[in-house]
Amino acid sequence: MLELNQIGANTYYINTYAKVGVYVKNPDQTYLIDSGTNDEEAGEIYRILKEQNWKLEAIILTHGHADHAGGCAYLQENTGCDIFVTEEEKIYSENPFISPVYITGGFPPREMQNSFFVARKYHAKDIRLARLPKELELIELPGHNFHMIGIRTEDEVVFLADSIYSLHMLNKYHINFMLDVPGYMKTLDKISHMKANIYLPSHDGPHKEILPLVQANKGKIDEIAGNIIRFCDNPITYDELIRKLFDEYGRRLDMQQYYLVGFTVRSFLSWLKEQGSIQTLFEDNMLCWRSWHA
């Protein structure tokens, strides 16, 4: 059962898969930060709001991925709330199927068409045009997706969305989802200079100090980049590189991890090629990657 956890005078979170923030301006004006992963989680969130006699004014989406937006349709249908998201992320509300298409690079296999990747449609508005309470501050957090944001509440609680990964995720998955590697690194630098009472990443518990986690995330990015460059000593195809990385980290491939990890690996390859660490070549009509120093 989902539970409400208080982390500020007016700030709470609900322990969904991707933590949902709650800011209560007053009982008739309650704001959620993200919405849960699916209708089931959204139903639990709705139950909690009703038990507290809080009226949902709006959902602020950090970004459009289904594990954050999967509860939007249910909550909007049951409360009539507004949903605000950046214009760049709004595409998911209008065409949720774009998520697995974008991750897989084509028509997605059945394993990539479940509710974890495809939310139900909902009606969203551009958050830049919204009149949000002055007690809520938007924070730009590029890198993970097209244009993710975080939220700081008046209680000095910062919701960091997927801009930083937990130690558990770093140690279990190693290679976590990111679109723009240098953008992600800039966001980590930004987080390292933030001052707050509580920091809450989407897939972790509350932190009073965030710098150790920032350093762990930076270290993992450096480690992944180093492994990729090392594995490119000889010309290597993308699939061969994926196999070597999974072997390196003692992981077993499945369909979802192939595409999720592969997405991030392709982002790393583009970044490393741009900065001159690796090059591309074609051998026997196969695209290969090779480090420049090889």
Give the start-to-end residue ranges of the domains of the chain. 4-163, 231-291
Going from the C-alpha of 228 to that of each of 87, 235, 278, 290, the distances in angstroms are: 34, 12, 9, 10
pLDDT range class, residue 71, cuts 50, 70, 90: very high
| Residues 16, 25 contacting (CB under 8 angstroms) | no
* pLDDT tens for each residue of 170-219: 999 999 999 999 999 999 999 999 999 999 999 999 999 999 999 999 99
- Was domain 4-163 assigned CATH 3.20.20.210? no
- Mean pLDDT to the nearest integer, 108-136: 96
Q: What angle do CA 152, 155, 156 make, to 5 degrees?
A: 50
Number of CB atoms found within 10 A of residue 121's CB: 15
Given the candidates 1.10.10, 3.30.1460, 3.40.50, 1.20.120, the CATH classification of the domain at 231-291 is 1.10.10
- The set of residues, in sequence order, having a beta carbon less than 8 Å from that of 179 and lying 6+ positions away, is 143, 144, 145, 146, 263, 267
Read off the tokens for 141.
């957090």
> Which run of H or of E encompasses 239?
helix 238-248
Give residue 103's pLDDT: 97
Q: Is the pLDDT of residue 154 over 80?
A: yes
Q: Is the pLDDT of residue 131 over 80?
A: yes
Read off the tokens for 25.
């301006």
Q: Is the pLDDT of residue 294 over 80?
A: no
| Residues 192, 214 contacting (CB under 8 angstroms) | yes
- Mean pLDDT to the nearest integer, 69-94: 97
pLDDT range class, residue 1, cuts 50, 70, 90: confident
* pLDDT tens for each residue of 16-56: 999 999 999 999 999 999 999 999 999 999 999 999 999 99
- Mean pLDDT to the nearest integer, 257-285: 97
**What average pLDDT does the structure give for the chain?**
97
- Mean pLDDT to the nearest integer, 230-246: 97
**Any bridge partners for residue 149, and if so which?**
140
SS3 143: coil
Give residue 120's pLDDT: 98
Distance separating alpha carbons of residues 66 and 140, to the nearest angstrom: 20
- Mean pLDDT to the nearest integer, 77-92: 97
SS3 128: helix
Give residue 127's pLDDT: 97
pLDDT range class, residue 237, cuts 50, 70, 90: very high
Spell out where the chain has E strands: 4-6, 11-14, 20-26, 29-33, 56-60, 82-85, 125-126, 137-140, 149-152, 157-161, 198-201, 236-237, 278-283, 286-291
Distance separating alpha carbons of residues 58 and 56, to the nearest angstrom: 6
